[in-house]
Structure 1
Amino acid sequence: MNKIVIFITIMLLSVTGKAQENTFIPQPESVLFKNGVFNLSNTTKIYMPKQVASSFKPYVLEKLKFETGLDFVVETGKVKIKSNYIEFQKTKDKSVKEEGYILEVSDSKIIVKAKGFSGFFNGFQTLRQIVPIEKTSEIKLPNVTIIDNPRFGWRGVLMDVSRHFHSKEFVMKQIDLLSSYKINVFHLHLTDDQGWRVEIKKYPKLTEKGAWRAERDDHWWGRKPATAKEPKTVGGFYTQDVLKEIIAFAKTRNVEIIPEIDVPGHSKALVASYPELFCSDIDTTGVNFEVAVGGKAPNNTVCPASEFTYEFLEGVIEEIADVFPSKYLHIGGDECSKKDWKKSAMCAALMEENGLKDYEELQSYFIQRIHKIVEKQNKTMIGWDEVLSGNGVPGATIMAWRRGKYNPEVQAPREGYPTIMTSYLHSYISRVQGPTFMEPEGPNSVLPLSVVYNHEPVPAELTKEEAARVLGNQASLWGEFTPTGEHFEYMLYPRTLASAEVSWSNPKVKSWERFQKALEFKHFNRLKKEGVNVARSLFTVYPAFGIDQLHNKAIVYLETEAVGYDIYYTLDGSDPTMEATKYTENFKAVPKSLLKAGLFNKKGELLGEITEIRLK
């Protein structure tokens, strides 16, 4: 294998005399800045192959107008001028992979070389990051040569629209933003206990009833179940036509939409809509057949011993397969309670008839039958890693989320399964991203930006052959605690940018310090320009303290995940500035003092929120 020489030029003086910084996210394979600039103006012409122009031309014009305020002319075919142009040029260079590209900016022209649309799209995203955020009378782009290929083919983000429904426009906004960071898979979690979000024409009650729940505003896990009589006003769903709009929109952004229908568990909305999917031989006295309003959702499994279940789900899967052109269809398979199955004589008889020794094998029986239905639609089934239990499901693709007691990240590729990594320890961005007492409501668990960024998705213990079965990496945002678009975006950004770099970049070119600087100097402002509610928890100070009762002192520790900055604090209730005390090591304070601490850059600017806590 040829060795790849990786050039990472952090700072280089351009002819303008200003320092050029490497602020690309995700970080390319090779970046070499050179002297000189390309002057971008409304006289600059754009050339692209005819084969990609129908969808790519309007996208390029829209984004350049947004970035620069300028209108450009796009032509197809060969370049007809000698300078002042941007060309998207097809290449047969074997070093350029399917989604890879070479970007060359010189004084006279900009060339983006790629095999086809996906490479052109990705190269254009990098070019966009060179354009100054603020519109100026002269747009000077630094001369640079970038060679870039993705590490993984699957660079995903999961959006849970079941727990809280989000509009078509909001979904499209996220696809548009994420694709600009080379995310190419958008996993839509369409069904769960709290709502069914996709129109199925054969079964209209799925959206007539299953898409709506009673209103509650108390804590997610403490909500009382809905009654049959109270109004059901919270929810919504996507018609098949709307989903086709979203799919077409995503396609022009090099994004594949993966639908998920979660069975046999997480199916309260499904069972509430069609109670006949519940095991019919179980006493249903006391069973609530209403869509779940919060986290607790008992009696939420479909019956694996009823032929009606499989006939019903085949009808659902047929329509899902018809709407979504993706080769993949995700059927869930996670966290399935067996409590109701254990009460069912039908389930016991099915187990005896098929020689199933336990309820894990009963779930495996169910999953294997669903797998055959999915295959019948010429789709590849994806399941959460619980589908490995029992007898597994040969031929499926595994989404590995559990860690610790379970090790699907190793088991699945070792057993021959194509595997997508979405570790709950590193990639479940529904967890809060700063000190829990300072963040919006969420799980009492912290997933800082640096942990997402520094994650290595391929386990070291895998052989080269096993590691080749790792398709890629995915960040997953579950929606229990994100009822608004503003909150949802706060949880998405900037952690999805960190995940994008994990998924795209060669680990050798990654640098946590460079990444955080790129956010500070470029991407926070870039996201703000796009109207995104981006979290700055990266710059929050984490406090820890203990009370020394013997000496009546509080012993205080302060820490931050960001590097290269200084913490300043006060104990008198005033807000810290650089005139306050600089933190260098743990210190002692009077118990019950009000500690305030902030993170400052060299200019004396406060970067994040002030941490405030009473030492008691």
Structure 2
Amino acid sequence: MGMNRFYKVLALALVTTVASAQLPALIPAPQTLEAGTGTFTLTTQTRLIVNTPELRRMIAEQLPQLPAGTSATSTISVSLAPAADLGSEGYDLRVTSKGITLTAPKAAGIFYGIQTLRQLLPEGKTALPQTIPAIHVRDQPRFGWRGLMLDVSRHFYDKAFVKRYIDQMARYKFNVFHWHLTDDQGWRVQINRLPKLTQVGAWRVPRTGRWWDLENTQPGEVPSYGGFYTQDDIREVVAYAQQRHITIVPEIDMPGHIMSAIAAYPQLTCGQLPTEVPPNGKLYKVKDNTLNPCRDSTYIFIDQVFTEIAELFPGPYIHVGGDEAYKGFWEKCDECRTLMKKQGIKNVEELQSYFIKRVEKIVQSKGKKLIGWDEILEGGLAPDATVMSWHGLKGGIEAARQGHPVIMTPHQFCYLDLYQGDPSAEPSTYGMCRLSKSYAFEPVPDSIKAELILGGQGNLWTESVPNERHVEYMTWPRAFAIAEVLWSPKNQRNWPDFVHRVESHFKRLDVQDVNYSRSMYNPIVTSVKKHPTGLMELVLDHELPDVELYYSTDNTIPDRHFPKYTQPFLMPKGADRVKVVAYAKGKPIGRMLELTTADMEKRAQ
């Protein structure tokens, strides 16, 4: 099978000094990991030695099972100290039969060393004694920007859940939480100077169903679905993230994707027409969801918003979106035509550039740096902007060639809202991004200065993610892959070994009661095409190595006594469906895949 062959070759090309089965299952894989001899036993008599009160507080919060023993028979020594060849997030962790030493030049490195130590301890167990394998880890990240984005506009997730999500990020050494706080479907952050943004913009009519089938707001309906974070909520979450060495990047999307603000303040658009907060995406290009770039009052509004955003978020960046801004209403606007003529602006793409450049000055006046999606390249890039590239790698390459910093987040590898398994066995969404695809992500394109690539992130848009459990299902385990891509050395990537470690971390997520997808166990139909005979030809595959597929075409339930898949096959005449099961080591894994004739016809087209 093509996918498996690629990863088997990759695995064989890697030279490992110790068999992976002998090493602990760490995610992300550390820079260096050496197995020692014996084990260390943590008991009630183990003494914790730290050289600052701040470290003691951090350790008590992250490892509550560590005792406050006074015996010197075994010790855990944690210290901030210079360490050769380790950067600001690096650490050195040594476990022997006598004790544990963790050293790092900065507090962030201590924090990441503690996360590694947490993965060496049994999940959920607080009673002592506990045993830890003897190892030596010397570790630091490949990239400084290791992010996840959560869209809370399409569906609102409360403060408690956001904190739990940040907790999970911290375990896997992510250090940026990109918080998509506003969009057409909801404004989620309290702005005191503009109270209608949450009084009106945070609420829409309730809807259940597939995103693209949701009905528009009907006359007389009361907007009752939504919510927002108070400024105190924001401060609490920011402080919580800071304690876990995570920077929050707030996103206020503009000039498009902002109908929730327009519903509150219709004067922000060219037509100044009243609108509602939509429950779907059907009003795009129908009703104006784009700010008027030609009126000074627009920039006064933006200044008021960013004044409070800058006060709430101490991180260096504000993300201004800039994606998918429909410019059709600008083209019909007399004010826009007048401004374009006066400023020598040739087209509406340059008008968006004019808008972003003015917004950048506002952002900089708050002491912040501007980030935008790669559409901000259109018409000319703002002087000091950082580009987040989601249209593949193309936008990032272009921005880097212009000397701008780039965060790579190409949708093919990093969009966590896409299908992660065969659509027949998954909740409805669009596109495809399997775990193996995320693991194959390479953030640095050839011929680009590596220092301009700050890192990357996974993005979870939530049009089709209506609840918190599904947020988790869509995030894990693909976020494991992204964490490893952004932290671990490129030449250590090893798909079969990663799968082994993911399975170990599934058990940890079970103990934590965190939801996750097991789609990597499911069979895949990679191709359906019509044969010249008129019959359907199917190509099957599987993500994991050493898996066997068995199938039926007679509407019975297959097992390993059925035909084994070895090559593409034709559906027999009259057959109305195919069913496929996967086996590994003689045992069934994953869900049965079932495709009807109608499904096959659709895929063949």
Same fold (TM > 0.5) = yes
Q: Pick one of 409, 428, 437 that aligns with 2:424.
A: 437
Structure 2 counterpart SS, 1:368: helix
Change (3 A) 1:37 1:579: farther
C-alpha distance in 1 between matches for 2:577 and 2:377: 51
Pair 1:42-2:28 in alignment? no
Q: Pick one of 69, 78, 81 that aligns with 1:88.
A: 78
Q: How many residues align?
A: 579
Q: Pick one of 43, 56, 59 that aligns with 1:57.
A: 59
CA contact (8 A) 2:217 2:278 kept: yes
- What is the correspondence of 1:270-289 to structure 2 with a 5 Å cutoff? 270-279=261-270, 282=271, 289=275
C-alpha distance in 2 between matches for 1:36 and 1:224: 63
CA contact (8 A) 2:44 2:128 kept: no
Pair 1:536-2:527 in alignment? no
C-alpha distance in 1 between matches for 2:74 and 2:109: 22
- What is the correspondence of 1:49-448 to structure 2 with a 5 Å cutoff? 49-53=51-55, 55-62=57-64, 65=65, 72-73=67-68, 82-133=72-123, 135=125, 139-227=130-218, 229-279=220-270, 282=271, 289-297=275-283, 298-403=287-392, 407-443=394-430, 445-448=431-434
Measure how far apart 1:140 and its partner are: 2.1
1:504 partner letter: W
C-alpha distance in 2 between matches for 1:584 and 1:133: 40
Aligned-pair identity in percent equals 38
Counterpart in the other structure of 2:497:
514
Q: Report the TM-score, using the length of structure 2 for normalisation.
A: 0.91
Change (3 A) 1:388 1:589: closer
Pair 1:31-2:33 in alignment? yes
Once the two structures are superposed, residues 188-218 of structure 1 have per-residue CA deviations (whole angstroms, 9 ceiling, x without a partner) of 0000000000000000000000000012224
CA contact (8 A) 1:412 1:419 kept: yes
C-alpha distance in 1 between matches for 2:510 and 2:144: 29
Counterpart in the other structure of 1:505:
488
Change (3 A) 1:24 1:553: same
Q: Pick one of 488, 496, 500 that aligns with 2:479.
A: 496
Measure how far apart 1:138 and its partner are: 5.2
Structure with bigger helix share is 2
C-alpha distance in 2 between matches for 1:190 and 1:241: 15
C-alpha distance in 2 between matches for 1:416 and 1:124: 36
C-alpha distance in 1 between matches for 2:56 and 2:44: 21
Q: Report the TM-score, using the length of structure 1 for normalisation.
A: 0.90
Structure 2 counterpart SS, 1:607: strand
C-alpha distance in 1 between matches for 2:413 and 2:558: 32
C-alpha distance in 2 between matches for 1:487 and 1:191: 20
C-alpha distance in 2 between matches for 1:8 and 1:126: 20
1:254 partner letter: H
C-alpha distance in 1 between matches for 2:593 and 2:220: 46
CA contact (8 A) 1:157 1:476 kept: yes
Measure how far apart 1:582 and its partner are: 3.2
Measure how far apart 1:33 and its partner are: 0.5
Q: Which runs of 5+ in 1 are unaligned?
A: 1-5, 13-18, 66-70, 75-79
Change (3 A) 1:134 1:348: closer
1:391 partner letter: G
My pick for the range that moved more, 133-142 or 350-359, is 133-142
Structure 1 counterpart SS, 2:411: coil
Pair 1:559-2:536 in alignment? no
CA contact (8 A) 1:374 1:381 kept: yes
Structure 2 counterpart SS, 1:534: coil
CA contact (8 A) 1:49 1:88 kept: yes
Once the two structures are superposed, residues 454-505 of structure 1 have per-residue CA deviations (whole angstroms, 9 ceiling, x without a partner) of 110111121xxx2211100110010100011111111101011100011111
CA contact (8 A) 1:11 1:21 kept: yes
Change (3 A) 1:605 1:271: same
Counterpart in the other structure of 1:601:
584
CA contact (8 A) 1:266 1:300 kept: yes
Measure how far apart 1:594 and its partner are: 4.2
Measure how far apart 1:73 and its partner are: 1.6
CA contact (8 A) 1:61 1:72 kept: no
